[in-house]
A = this chain, B = another copy of it.
Amino acid sequence: MLCGIIRIMNKFIIKHEEYIKRTYQLAKSAQEKGNHPFGALLVIDNKVVFTAENSVISDNDITRHAELNLVSKVTQELDPEALSQGILYTSTEPCAMCTGAIFWAGISNIVYGCSAVVLGEIAGGTFVVPCRDLLKYGKRQINVVGPVLEDQGAAIHRNFWKASE
């Protein structure tokens, strides 16, 4: 029984890592377009159904974080039942704005790569809000997993913000 549970958990850990690596690719893709290095995707039934990148610079709009772009897309395309089954993977722990958007979208599972605290240390964060703190205000349970492969995510940020100095 115990072996079975461990096998299942390992399977999920491997899946989480696989999808977080995809968000890191999206983050790098955003950076290549002149944006900030953040990416996110939504998985339903073990399939990636939507992806999004940060587009703050290219859209000249401070709200265009990867997760907010993703939530905009998915609430236009999917019904609440589908959203409640989805897992939102994001390269970096969602900020307060994006955590709020994720809550309103009815998404109940978040997995993030690099933590907000580590991003804050690298980028000189002025508004570091751990998403679990904020989600305590919610009457709906949202499951949060992270950090996952944080070193890889932190390296992307270190490279970007060092170059921006």
Instruction: Please report A residues at the B interface, Cβ cutoff 8 Å.
Output: 59-63, 68, 71-72, 75-76, 95-101, 103-105, 125-129, 134, 137-140
Known: A63-B68, A127-B139, A129-B137; 19 extra A-B contacts, CB below 8 A, are A61-B75, A61-B76, A62-B71, A62-B75, A63-B72, A63-B75, A63-B101, A95-B100, A95-B104, A96-B96, A96-B97, A96-B99, A97-B97, A97-B99, A97-B100, A100-B100, A100-B127, A100-B129, A127-B138
What are some 25 contacts across the A-B interface (CB < 8 A)? A59-B76, A60-B75, A62-B72, A62-B75, A62-B105, A63-B68, A63-B71, A63-B101, A63-B104, A95-B100, A95-B104, A96-B134, A96-B137, A97-B99, A97-B100, A97-B103, A100-B129, A125-B139, A126-B139, A126-B140, A127-B138, A127-B139, A128-B137, A129-B134, A129-B137
